[in-house]
Amino acid sequence: MANMEFTWQNHSGKKATVKRILANHGVSHRMIAKLKRGQGNVKLNGEKTVLSALVGQNDKVTLVLPPENDDERILVSHERIKVVYEDENWLLLDKPAGISSVPGPSNDHDTMMNRVKGYLIDQKSENLVPHAVTRLDRFTSGLMLCAKHGFAQGLISKQVQEHSMEKRYLAVCSGFVKKDHGIIDLPLKKEDNGFRRIVSCDGQNAVTEYWVRERFGNEATLVECVLHTGRTHQIRAHFAHFAHPLISDELYGGKRNDACKRQALHACCLAFDDPFSCKRLRFELPLENDMEHLLGELRCINCD
């Protein structure tokens, strides 16, 4: 099986060690430790070298990593996935509502990660361990990013931790949201003996920014949200706290609507800095049919 190779050129004007060049390009301490254990190697201008070697101006450093073997703990599903974007490092998916993002106790055989593994096998990929970069609740639809190998996941982890990755959602809230724009800065924690998240002074920091995109009388409001933190159920819990639970989000008190029988929440936009191409990648995804039908129904009610 072919190794993966990633090459960078020293344009700093100064000499530096191979280790420093790698660190400057996001190679983690954990990856450096793996190299020291022989799990991969490095080259200087095409020749195998050591981490302490000096790199001159315009010299090229290449990180060589073995392909990731099959992880038997992740079962295979060959159910179809919708691919929005793909290259050698990333797989951006259109996740439908009703499917979990990653395996768990209640479902270990047909989640998005199980399906991605089946997709990689069908594509005869040499890396067969999918890595979820972003996750969505089971009944939330929209854009979900996967890394095709652990090195890519490691490089982008800083953007995830620092929330510099742009994640936008469209949500249909119950009732009339008064402010055209707002920032909900309220800590969240898991409810005792339950699955819900609630606002609590001893919870984790949680910040949701929103803009009203359309109002449907006193019945409902379409809002666009940006997450400045990434807490579980963040949008759902924040709007429920202000008596605006999402339509059909029965866990948080939302009234069920047959046009959209799951929480009316869709990940509509995702943008991140690709550490390999050094370009900002931005993607948008239209609403799923059920949310479109919901909006159409609400517009008709409002017209009446």
Give bridge partners of residue 204 from the DSSP assignment.
Answer: 188
CA distance 48 to 102: 38
Q: How far is CA 158 from CA 26, 144, 188, 225, in A?
A: 9, 17, 22, 22
Instruction: Scan for tokens 């991605």, then name that residue.
Output: 116
Q: Are 154 and 127 in contact, with CB atoms under 8 Å apart?
A: no
DSSP letter string over 105-145?
A: TTBSSSSHHHHHHHHHHHTT-S----EESS---TT-EEEEE
Cα 304 versus chain centre, distance: 40
Eight-class DSSP state of 70: P
Check if 137 is active-site: yes
Specify the DSSP element, H or E, that contains 35: helix 29-36
Residue 151 burial class via C-beta count within 10 angstroms: exposed 0-12, middle 13-18, buried 19 and up: buried
Say whether 222 sits in a helix, a strand or coil.
strand
Give bridge partners of residue 42 from the DSSP assignment.
Answer: 49, 63
CA distance 209 to 8: 38
Q: How far is CA 226 from CA 85, 123, 125, 136, 185, in A?
A: 22, 34, 34, 14, 12
Which of 59, 137, 249, 290 is flagged as catalytic?
137
Catalytic residue set: 137
